[in-house]
Amino acid sequence: MVDTLAGMAIARLPLIAIDCPDPGALARFYGAMLDWKVDVSVDRASVCPEDGQCIAFHRVADYTPPTWPTRERPKQMHLDMFVDDLDAAEAAVTDLGATKHPDQPGTSYRVFLDPAGHPFCLCLE
C-alpha cells in the first residue's frame, strides 16, 4: 500500500452494476430473493438492504446473456449467496423465476441463472 494512504482505502464500493435487458424485472427478482428494497426508474433499477452495499441493474438494448460454462460468451461476473438449506432455497428462487443450470460442478453450492441469464450460486456456509 502507498504510504500516503496508510490504512485508508483507495476507493469505496457502494454498489455492483449488472447489465440486463429489463432492469425492473431483475431488481424485483433479486429484491424478492434477498428481501431488499427495490427502486425502479426507466433504464435503471437497484436493490438495497437497510444498510450496506446495493446491486444496480442497467438496461442494455443488445444484451446477450453468458453461455456459461462454455466460452462462447463467458460469464463476466456472478454472485455467491449463502443459504441455510439448499433445497428450500432452490425451490424459492425457481419460484421467483431463476433456472437451475444443468451443469452442477459442486455439492456445497448450486448454480442458477437469473431471469436475464446471469449465473449465480446459492452456497452453504
Give per-residue pLDDT as tens, 36-86.
999 999 889 999 999 888 999 999 989 999 988 888 888 777 898 999 999
Q: Which CATH architecture has domain 64-125?
A: Roll (3.10)
As a whole number of angstroms, the distance between CA 106 and CA 47 comes to: 28
Mean pLDDT of 104-125: 93
Give the model's pLDDT for residue 1: 41
As a whole number of angstroms, the distance between CA 87 and CA 54 comes to: 26
CA–chain centroid gap for 120, Å, is: 6
| Domains in the chain: boundaries | 12-63, 64-125
Q: Which CATH architecture has domain 12-63?
A: 2-Layer Sandwich (3.30)
